[in-house]
Structure 1
Amino acid sequence: MWIKALSFLSITSIPKLRWSSPKAFTLKPPIVSVVFLIIGLVVFGLGEALLVTAGVGVSPWTVFAQGVTNVTGWSLGFATFIISASVLILWIPLRQTPGMGTVLNAIIIALVLEFVLPYLPTFETFVANALLALVGVFVTGFGGAIYLIANLGPGPRDGLMTGFQAITHQPIALVRTFLEVLVVAIGWTLGGTLGLGTVFFALGIGPAIAIGMQILQSRGTVQ
């Protein structure tokens, strides 16, 4: 039973389903791939919005950005931009290919946060908000699985994950968890603010993505 429960750890590559694009970088992507890309990014953004609404801790990369601001004096937004740009530069040796998903990642998630946040429920108790944060992590992971399987280009951080996975050949869940824990550890050392939601995200986003891929692979048609 335990082996079956941990079977998501066997996923070492992004599944190719009938709605996956043949190429990440293409000027004529399949319509079905674009549709699933957008759906995945909307769900991803909703998950991040739930985490923000919970208010029990920001994401590991935001902790990292906070730490950078403490050292450099930059604004949080500028620090986030520099970090994202640096991650994209790392794509070059990792041989990651951008696509429309790389651009839409920033646009769609920002729009979801802008228009959905005001309508999400808020709770007074810490336990309820902690559970909301946990739900947010798994919603984010499932959305990430959808848009990554669409294969139209990952976002900066997801591309870092797939790049390191290709080099190490380790399970996606473990690679993503390692990256998130490393980032949050550096950010916290530099003075970033750590919360329970941060811990949930650092330890949960990798397994959530892998579980999402496993579910989609079992329900979809392999190419």
Structure 2
Amino acid sequence: MFLKIKKIPSVNWSSDKPYNFKPKFSTFFFLCFGLMLFGLGEGLLIVSFTGASPWSVLAQGISLNVNLSIGTITFLISVAVLILWIPLGQKPGMGTILNAIIIALMIDLCIKFVPTPSNYLYQLILAIISVITVGIGGGIYLVSNLGAGPRDGLMIGLQKKTNLPVAAVRAFLEISVVSIGWYLGGTVGVGTLLFAFGIGPCVALGLYLVGKIFD
């Protein structure tokens, strides 16, 4: 059962080490494909108008107060988070850098070209599809093993410095950014809750599917 997965599977296109800047083409392809799915899902959740993921709520809130797109703000947040890696002793990989770029681009493309459903039921369905898409994309991206994303790296670095449980560190980060984003005008709603409770199982599903397909 995919909910019992405890480790990231290694498949024939997984990188042997996270700081590999000359990966196989297949590794690079699946890394980019996973990140594109991840960014598409994040964008679809925003478009659904039911709420957004915590970090997208922050980007949305900042975007409402400055003349920049949500995707651009998402990229700038990633850069700011990477700067915080320095005192935490974290090292970026190829996946870290592409994470910041591809997800930001996909969010802006999605917002530009995908219309918001007029029916609330369809908006909820779109929100559910978006969380599943983020999860599967995240699973593919993690299996490529080319470096943690900016936010994941921040979580890992803070956990090492504080020695607090990973769950507590992640919860602190997510609650902090969604609170700031909501204060600035970002949309918090059912979609935010769907993401909060659904992203874990959906990433596990992504890892399970990748492991099964490429086993």
TM surpasses 0.5:
yes
Contact 1:177 1:202 in 2 (8 A): no
Q: In the alignment, what sits opposite 2:41?
A: 47
Relative to the length of structure 2, the TM-score reads 0.76
Q: In 2, distance between residues paired with 1:76 and 1:185?
A: 20
What amino acid sits opposite 2:195 in the alignment? Answer: F
Q: In 2, distance between residues paired with 1:165 and 1:216?
A: 28
Contact 2:42 2:56 in 1 (8 A): no
Contact 1:141 1:209 in 2 (8 A): yes
SS in 1 for 2:35: helix
Q: In the alignment, what sits opposite 1:61?
A: 55
What amino acid sits opposite 2:100 in the alignment? Answer: A
Residues 79, 143 of structure 1: CA spacing in aligned structure 2 closer, same or farther, 3 A cutoff? closer
Tell me if 1:211 matches 2:208: no
C-alpha distance after superposition, 1:52-86 (max 9, x if no partner) = 2211112211334567799xx77777875664344
Relative to the length of structure 1, the TM-score reads 0.73
Tell me if 1:106 matches 2:125: no
Contact 1:39 1:143 in 2 (8 A): yes
C-alpha distance after superposition, 1:22-80 (max 9, x if no partner) = 1222232111110111111121122122112211112211334567799xx77777875
Contact 2:35 2:141 in 1 (8 A): yes
Tell me if 1:22 matches 2:16: yes
The offset of 1:158, in angstroms, is: 3.1
The offset of 1:148, in angstroms, is: 1.5
Residues 196, 187 of structure 1: CA spacing in aligned structure 2 closer, same or farther, 3 A cutoff? same
Q: In 2, distance between residues paired with 1:5 and 1:149?
A: 15
Q: In the alignment, what sits opposite 1:7?
A: 4
Q: In the alignment, what sits opposite 1:123?
A: 117
Aligned length: 211
- Range with greater deviation from structure 2 (129-138 or 43-52): 43-52
Q: In 1, distance between residues paired with 2:31 and 2:186?
A: 32
Q: In the alignment, what sits opposite 2:191?
A: 197
C-alpha distance after superposition, 1:73-113 (max 9, x if no partner) = 77777875664344324445665432222222232223333
Q: In the alignment, what sits opposite 1:97?
A: 91
Contact 2:50 2:188 in 1 (8 A): no
Q: Say which of 153, 163, 168 aligns to 1:159.
A: 153
The offset of 1:136, in angstroms, is: 0.2
What amino acid sits opposite 2:145 in the alignment? Answer: N
- Range with greater deviation from structure 2 (48-57 or 110-119): 110-119
Residues 31, 177 of structure 1: CA spacing in aligned structure 2 closer, same or farther, 3 A cutoff? farther
Q: In 2, distance between residues paired with 1:122 and 1:189?
A: 23
Q: In 1, distance between residues paired with 2:122 and 2:190?
A: 12
Contact 2:44 2:110 in 1 (8 A): no
Residues 165, 40 of structure 1: CA spacing in aligned structure 2 closer, same or farther, 3 A cutoff? farther
Residues 191, 39 of structure 1: CA spacing in aligned structure 2 closer, same or farther, 3 A cutoff? closer
Residues 162, 18 of structure 1: CA spacing in aligned structure 2 closer, same or farther, 3 A cutoff? farther
Q: Say which of 78, 84, 88 aligns to 1:84.
A: 78
The offset of 1:160, in angstroms, is: 3.5
